[in-house]
Structure 1
Amino acid sequence: MTVIVRMPEIATGSDEAAIAGWLVAVGETVAVGQALVEIETEKATVEFEAEQPGTLAGILLAAGSTAPVGAPIAVLAADGESMADALAAAGVAGPGTAPSAEAGADQVHKPVSAEAAVAPTAVPVPVQAAAAPEAPGARRFVSPLVRKLARERGIDLVSVRGSGPGGRIVRRDLDGIGGGTAAPAAIPQPAQPSLPPQPAAAPLASTGASESAEWVDVPHTGMRRAIARRLAESKSTVPHFYLVADCRVDALLELRSQINAVEGVRVSVNDFVVKAVAGAFRDVPAANAIWTEEATRRFTGVDIAVAVSVPAGLLTPVVRGVERMSLGELGTAIRDLAGRAREGKLKQHELEGGSFSVSNLGMYGTSEFAAILNPPQSGILAVGAAQQRPVVQADGTVGVGTVMTVTLSADHRVLDGALAAEWLAAFTQRIENPLSILV
């Protein structure tokens, strides 16, 4: 039986998604669970797997194009069914080109040829920096995704030659092109009607502010809208409360220096922090939980999200099984996730799950801050900079020590004050006795 593959709803609540690249060519056999196509969402590129076996008879949406969730994107021929019969059963007349991204969702789609089925995403297509001028009024076929990326990177699409069907500019055509650095021009404002002369007013004291401040409007990206939506929902629906602790980290910094002196080993303060978070959950397992509408869900393993700053906003990839990792393995896993987050190559499952997050702004010199919870997680630890401060020594004298301030934001539906305080004390104990993090 012919199978029509439709655009999946990768991110909850999303209305549309884009094809980043096809992983199977027309005419190839597809098995259940085999990666069929890469789908790009607001936050990640996701490999969508085939749910039924068959032969890829036609691709209805080319790489770089966007379509609503549920729109047809490909046709699979069942075992024993010819590709021509499958295309006919799907209402596709025959081989042709993929539809334009500007076409309506209800338009009849035609498959692209086998030669154009798989976009060579690994090898950028050569792009001419200065394309031949087009005829006045000529239409340039560009997908909404490409327009968004070009706007974010400051790329003038007039100078880009498209390599897609019919000269369409697709995502791979932007690879390797450096964008301009000029800020977008201010939006023109309508002329104001002239007013009759007014009597001179008494002079006011100068405030130092410009009388005609200028501005530019930077259009929201999909990621920025997603961040705004989720954090506004979190702050307005989750009862946050906050606990603050000062941690002495002199011993931790000394141990880190010793570890990094070993050839081939490199760990960061943040690696110690994430590992200490997992250790604290081992000490206080009741805190490793999230709220659901039916019950409080407690976890036996420790999956921790780590906040990563990316050009378009913020991502929180999840490190799984932190309690089972060595410090070196953890550091390698965090660097891998952070690197792929900045390159936009995370998979959707790497952004889901976890009961807790760590957000570290210490590298920017921030002393302390309070973070907003990332639902459905029940806690997030905001980590400030390790700074030298006056401290009271064990003998009662005042000396200088290195102190790091951390702030725990907790979901009061899951964590009561005493439980959260017990967890934070366990975390502080491990940070101040770093050898306990390694065992």
Structure 2
Amino acid sequence: MSIDILMPALSPTMEEGTLAKWHVKKGDAVRSGDVIAEIETDKATMEVEAVDEGTIEELLVPEGTEGVKVNAPIARLSGEDAGASTAPAPKASSSPEPKSSEEVSPKVTEGAKAPTAAPPPPSASPPPPPQAGEERKASAQRDGQRIFASPLARRIAEQKGLDLSAMKGSGPHGRIVKADVDTAQPGQTKAPAAAPAGAPQAAPAAQAQRQPQSLEHYGIAAGSYDLIPLDGMRKTVARRMTDSFRDVPHFPLNLDIEIDALLAARAKINAMLEKSGGGKVSVNDMVIKAAAVALKQVPEANASYTPEGIAMHHHADISMAVAVPGGLITPIIFKAETKGLSQIAAEAKDLAERARTKKLKPEEFQGGTFSISNLGMFGIKSFASIINEPQGAILSVGAGEKRPVVKGDQLAIATVMSVTLTCDHRVVDGATGARFLAALKPLLEDPINMIV
């Protein structure tokens, strides 16, 4: 028998992607762990691995196809394992329940939708003992129905001693994914029962918002402009920024910082690195380091709002905004407070280069505890960014420029850089944001403070 391999969801926000390349062809035998395809999303290009063994019966989607929806069949696998995995649902509970088809979809289909299966009819006969192996956990029951969970989520749940029947999944159609078990605690209460099929569903909040109108609605004639279709990245950025701006109560704090000493220190550091064959350190690298140190000094600013409480992060994982064709992506310098400037510079350069070629792994741009957006290289003096949820704040960095300043009672010239901290008022209030900026200022005005 055969089974369809589905288009994986490589991130929680992914809705469609491009099947960039096949690494297999019809008739090829595949084993668990073999790379079978490359999928290009709005943020990255990822390799997809097979989970089960079998033979490629048919490639349903040609390589290079764009706009392939998540959970759409892209290939068909046949073989002994595939046949066992796709056996029809039993008509009596005395027959072993089949393995979920999600087990033979690629490993990275954590957010993929599992096929809907009707619950088996009740039977007085007891079910047979489950077979060994994690794949049989797909047949776990919740109130008489199968629990849909990704293979990775089931493995983590077993390691943490969690009861999947007590969880509510956040994936497609309520499927339990890795994020659900990562945040779950043993003994949590059961999720409320799902609404019966056919019951009216509440419209999502986003649908209740005013939808954009066509330009013709505003009197702009059709044919007087060129329309560039929205790609996946632009759609994702638009949705996330709209949600953040609408849902997060935010406010800005502005501060001017003199950076003459920072520029002098950067010149000395780069001279030393040049002698040793190292790369160069940018002003943005020094801002990342200073922000990480300041976050450790004011840990209340390194926090996120959740419905359960305020999450105080252990490390300063700094997301840095990188402009890429068609949008924006925020690769992360993890544990930036523990790294030297040369290491931060090397990581930042590598991440930025791979971001522009869509070679980042999801874990390299998903997460982060604090963001930095720098438009100083474009001559922008001051601006305020939209918060990158669920982070509590984002720092916007403007250009350094010569300005008149008062030192003592004398007028002088200094290189001044304006920064703006946009705060989520639910977690970073005005006093906390001000304390963070007060900690950041001396670190940038005298960089030796970063290492003291």
Which range, TM-score by smaller chain? 0.5 to 0.7
> Aligned equivalents of 1:71 and 1:405: distance in 2?
48
The residue aligned with 1:57 is 56
The count of residues paired between Structure 1 and Structure 2 equals 314
- For residue 389 of structure 1, give the secondary structure of its aligned residue in structure 2: strand
> Aligned equivalents of 1:429 and 1:89: distance in 2?
67
> Aligned equivalents of 1:82 and 1:421: distance in 2?
60
The residue aligned with 1:29 is 31
Q: What is the alpha-carbon root mean square deviation over aligned residues?
A: 2.9
The residue aligned with 2:40 is 40
Equivalent runs, 1:31-430 vs 2, <5 Å: 31=33, 35-50=35-50, 52-58=51-57, 60=59, 61-66=61-66, 67-76=68-77, 81=80, 214-262=224-272, 263=274, 264=277, 265-393=279-407, 395-430=408-443
Segments of structure 1 that go 5 or more residues without pairing to the other structure are 91-105, 107-188, 190-212
- Contact 2:371–2:393 under 8 Å retained in 1: yes
The residue aligned with 1:437 is 450
> Aligned equivalents of 1:347 and 1:57: distance in 2?
26
Higher CA-based Rg: 1
**If each structure's helix is expressed as a fraction of its own residues, which one has the higher value?**
2
- Contact 1:327–1:438 under 8 Å retained in 2: no
- Alpha-carbon spacing, 1:7–1:388, altered in 2? closer, same or farther (3 Å): same
Query: What amino acid maps onto 1:435 in structure 2?
Result: I
The residue aligned with 1:94 is none
Query: What amino acid maps onto 2:235 in structure 1?
Result: R
Name which of structure 1's ranges 294-303 and 379-388 shifts more when overlaid on structure 2. 294-303
Q: Could you tell me how far 1:72 is from its partner in structure 2?
A: 2.4
The residue aligned with 1:142 is none
- Alpha-carbon spacing, 1:427–1:54, altered in 2? closer, same or farther (3 Å): same
> Aligned equivalents of 2:43 and 2:399: distance in 1?
28
> Aligned equivalents of 2:395 and 2:86: distance in 1?
56
Q: Could you tell me how far 1:308 is from its partner in structure 2?
A: 0.9
The residue aligned with 1:177 is none
Q: Could you tell me how far 1:435 is from its partner in structure 2?
A: 1.4
Q: Could you tell me how far 1:401 is from its partner in structure 2?
A: 0.8
The residue aligned with 1:15 is 15
Q: Could you tell me how far 1:75 is from its partner in structure 2?
A: 4.4
> Aligned equivalents of 1:21 and 1:280: distance in 2?
44
- Contact 2:369–2:391 under 8 Å retained in 1: yes
> Aligned equivalents of 2:45 and 2:4: distance in 1?
22
Query: What amino acid maps onto 2:270 in structure 1?
Result: N
- TM-score, normalised relative to structure 2: 0.64
- Alpha-carbon spacing, 1:421–1:82, altered in 2? closer, same or farther (3 Å): closer
> Aligned equivalents of 1:347 and 1:270: distance in 2?
23
Q: Could you tell me how far 1:368 is from its partner in structure 2?
A: 0.6
- Alpha-carbon spacing, 1:37–1:301, altered in 2? closer, same or farther (3 Å): farther
- TM-score, normalised relative to structure 1: 0.65
- For residue 337 of structure 1, give the secondary structure of its aligned residue in structure 2: helix
Q: Could you tell me how far 1:374 is from its partner in structure 2?
A: 1.3
- For residue 261 of structure 1, give the secondary structure of its aligned residue in structure 2: helix
> Aligned equivalents of 1:331 and 1:414: distance in 2?
30
- Contact 2:13–2:236 under 8 Å retained in 1: no
Deviations 1:202-260 (A, max 9, x none): xxxxxxxxxxx953333322222222111111111101111011111111000000111
Query: What amino acid maps onto 2:421 in structure 1?
Result: L
Segments of structure 2 that go 5 or more residues without pairing to the other structure are 89-114, 116-215, 217-222
Q: Could you tell me how far 1:15 is from its partner in structure 2?
A: 3.2
Q: Could you tell me how far 1:284 is from its partner in structure 2?
A: 0.9
Q: Could you tell me how far 1:391 is from its partner in structure 2?
A: 1.4
